[in-house]
A = this chain, B = another copy of it.
């Protein structure tokens, strides 16, 4: 009987590295950069208007935020909606596809917390 898989995949062999690198590059191409994951995390709290997002994502310019929202929409992570009581307002909300990023978020978050703790212990 097969051993229960744990949640890690095995470390890839040298031969698998090209495919693995390509897959990582694919992922970084779509969700890499400074703002995309923070935008998705912010929207995981609930729908937000542009200005709410702009306030929530510290340091992003309106132009860059606008471009990043477009890219995230094109890649299927979020959609624009209108509140029932005010159809002229645009809100951004996550699609189900953004849930597929959960493992990446968890891994980054765990690593970031560990790294910060290491730096604290070091200095």
Interface residues of A in 1-35 (CB under 8 A from B): 6-9, 11-12, 14, 17, 19-28, 30-34
Q: Which residues does chain B contribute within 8 Å of A114, judged by CB atoms?
A: 100
Does A70 touch B at the CB level, under 8 Å?
A: no
How many identical subunits does the complex contain?
Answer: 2
Say yes or no: A104 contacts B100, CB within 8 Å.
no
Say yes or no: A17 contacts B44, CB within 8 Å.
yes
Convert A32-64 into 0s and 1s, putting 1 for each residue whose CB lies closer than 8 angstroms to a CB of B: 111001100110110000000000000000000
In the assembly, what is the distance between CA of A107 and CA of B41, in Å? Answer: 17
Say yes or no: A21 contacts B41, CB within 8 Å.
yes
Say yes or no: B17 contacts A28, CB within 8 Å.
no
Contacts A8-B106, A17-B45 aside, 15 further interface pairs with beta carbons under 8 A come to: A9-B106, A9-B109, A9-B110, A17-B42, A19-B113, A24-B105, A25-B38, A25-B112, A27-B112, A28-B112, A30-B112, A32-B34, A33-B33, A100-B114, A103-B111
